[in-house]
Structure 1
Amino acid sequence: MKTSLSLMLVIGLSFLHIKELRAQRFESYEKHRYIQNKDTLPYRLLLPEGYEKDKKYPLVIFLHGAGERGNDNEKQLAHGGALFIKEENRLKYPAIVVFPQCSQQSFWSNVKIAGNGTNRVFEFTNGGTPTVPMQLVMELVKELNSKYGIKQRQVYVMGLSMGGMGTFELVNRMPKTFAAAIPICGGADTATAANLKKTKWWVFHGSKDDIVLPRYSEEMVAAMKKNKVSVKFTLFPEANHNSWDPAFAQPGLMNWLFSQKGSR
């Protein structure tokens, strides 16, 4: 019994240590909350090293997946947070990076979900009233533009899973804002494709994804190409739902993102 209790104590302390190290790792991301009326959007903000108020920088919005929802203002950095604090990325691509956090009971995009596993079906909506978190993100983008020096031709959005769906939705709702977008294992209503032309796209998915089937990205990419949207598509043959791992490791990902410039 003593051995079992000791093991549990060691495991518990190790978990707390890992959590503390993770928090320290992301301490460069400032904690903020955007409040509109009675609604609150927690978000983390990373400023470039040596940030200068009189300079302008690219802006990156990163939308997390369903597992990182909540209001702790920490979980949303779990996937993608490390990408932007890599020293080589901070030095080569100085940018303002923002990770908003969706509330636990909501979603970035307007979508109905039915079934489980490979039988799970996503029914996307084109238009309609945005969810509260999506509306708050849209307003936050406007506030960031007024508060910081943002290069208007270099505003980007990335997202995975629920956030991949949110990436499509955010660009559809703000079609003149984003120079480039990277949705990972997401999807959207194919009818929105015609409205995505002002943005360059790099879409990722895992061919073995049994949470969000790859057909949702495949159908969007087909519709985008049909509507002459500039889009690249990478389907990882061995990846399941966590296709964000090989996507983040994709050679040239950051260079591609920051080399895109909008017409504004």
Structure 2
Amino acid sequence: PEDWDRPDDHNQELCKLFKANSYSPGRYVLNYRLFVPQATGRVPLVIYLHGADAVGDDNELQLSMHDIGTMFAKDSWQKEHPCYIIAPQYARGSYWSDPQVKGALLLLIKAFSEKENVDEKRIYIYGYSAGGVGTLRLVKENPGLFAAAVPICGATNAGDIDELVKTPLWMVHAEDDSIVNASYQGGSSPWAVHYGSRDIYERLRDVHPEMFYTEYKTGMMKERFGVNPHCSWVAVSGPAGKEIREWLFSKVLR
């Protein structure tokens, strides 16, 4: 779409700070980009999952498509919060919940954390759109791995929704997102087996020990940020998202 989010001019320079790598625990090869901080001692590891608009095998689009993938590599952030960043990319025709993709990523996280100076009590995950869906899936299936998660314009199936109470969450969505709905519940939606961000919040807010939800009202993404309502990740990567970013990095596994 014409109103799709585009990266700013500085993003290209930030992308260059990420080294191209691949990980192959078996026959499947997972491409990923790696940011290594200038730090001594153990630091957090951030896992970033791209959306469907950045699929491929170039090992570039996951970072170059939007600013959201490079936001933690900025000098201003690294000076205060040094961290490793792993940004994997899946190929066209696949998805984050594909057993091969998911399996390789989990093994990569384990191997990397054991080899490098990773604070294993501070592994964070976030993603937008399909990456928000993937974030919710990985959090559901791996309690005790991630200290916190930020799923942006994501959704998940309703079946095992209660598993999300085991991990601190901050979800972000736009009310008028028509690509991934903030809500699939109510009415006669054929997608009622899915829970959008608002559905998750309404279902779990009374039982989840630490869950936040930011919803941008209809028209706000266009008026405030000049982008399509689906592009709510813009609100997370810019000044408006500082509170979310600081919250994420404050979380430590108990």
TM beyond 0.5? yes
What SS is found at the alignment partner of 1:191? coil
Alpha-carbon deviation of 1:23?
4.6
Matches of 1:139 and 1:258 in 2, distance apart? 23
Alpha-carbon deviation of 1:42?
0.5
Question: Is residue 85 of structure 1 aligned with residue 53 of structure 2?
Answer: no
- Given the alignment, which residue of 54, 66, 80 partners 2:52? 66
Contact kept? 2:36, 2:85, Cα under 8 Å: yes
Which structure would you say has the larger Rg? 1
Matches of 2:85 and 2:37 in 1, distance apart? 8
User: Quick one: which amino acid aligns to residue 215 of structure 2?
Assistant: L
Contact kept? 1:190, 1:223, Cα under 8 Å: no
1:105 corresponds to: 93
What SS is found at the alignment partner of 2:159? helix
Describe how 1:15-30 pairs up with structure 2 within 5 A.
23-30=12-19
Matches of 1:152 and 1:163 in 2, distance apart? 22
User: Quick one: which amino acid aligns to residue 137 of structure 2?
Assistant: E
Question: Is residue 75 of structure 1 aligned with residue 61 of structure 2?
Answer: yes
Describe how 1:23-62 pairs up with structure 2 within 5 A.
23-49=12-38, 51-52=39-40, 55-62=41-48
Indicate the RMSD between aligned Cα atoms, in angstroms.
Answer: 2.0
Alpha-carbon deviation of 1:82?
3.0
Q: Which runs of 5+ in 2 are unaligned?
A: 1-6, 184-195, 222-228
Alpha-carbon deviation of 1:60?
0.5
- Given the alignment, which residue of 205, 224, 230 partners 1:241? 230
Matches of 2:77 and 2:120 in 1, distance apart? 20
User: Quick one: which amino acid aligns to residue 58 of structure 1?
Assistant: P
Matches of 1:175 and 1:233 in 2, distance apart? 20
Describe how 1:100-249 pairs up with structure 2 within 5 A.
100-109=88-97, 130-215=98-183, 216-237=196-217, 238-239=220-221, 240-249=229-238
- Given the alignment, which residue of 234, 247, 254 partners 1:256? 247
What CA deviation, in whole Å up to 9, does each residue of 1:52-80 have, x standing for no partner? 4xx21101100000010111110001332
What SS is found at the alignment partner of 2:171? strand
Matches of 1:225 and 1:171 in 2, distance apart? 17
User: Quick one: which amino acid aligns to residue 260 of structure 1?
Assistant: K
Matches of 2:91 and 2:129 in 1, distance apart? 16
User: Quick one: which amino acid aligns to residue 75 of structure 1?
Assistant: L
Cα pair distance change 1:193/1:229, threshold 3 Å: farther
- Percent sequence identity is 31
Matches of 1:25 and 1:60 in 2, distance apart? 16
1:10 corresponds to: none
What CA deviation, in whole Å up to 9, does each residue of 1:109-163 have, x standing for no partner? 3xxxxxxxxxxxxxxxxxxxx5321121111111111111211211110000000
Q: Which runs of 5+ in 1 are unaligned?
A: 1-17, 110-129
Q: TM-score if structure 2 supplies the norm length?
A: 0.82
Matches of 1:136 and 1:22 in 2, distance apart? 27
* Greater mean deviation of Cα atoms: 161-170 or 144-153: 144-153
Matches of 2:202 and 2:101 in 1, distance apart? 28
* Greater mean deviation of Cα atoms: 73-82 or 22-31: 22-31
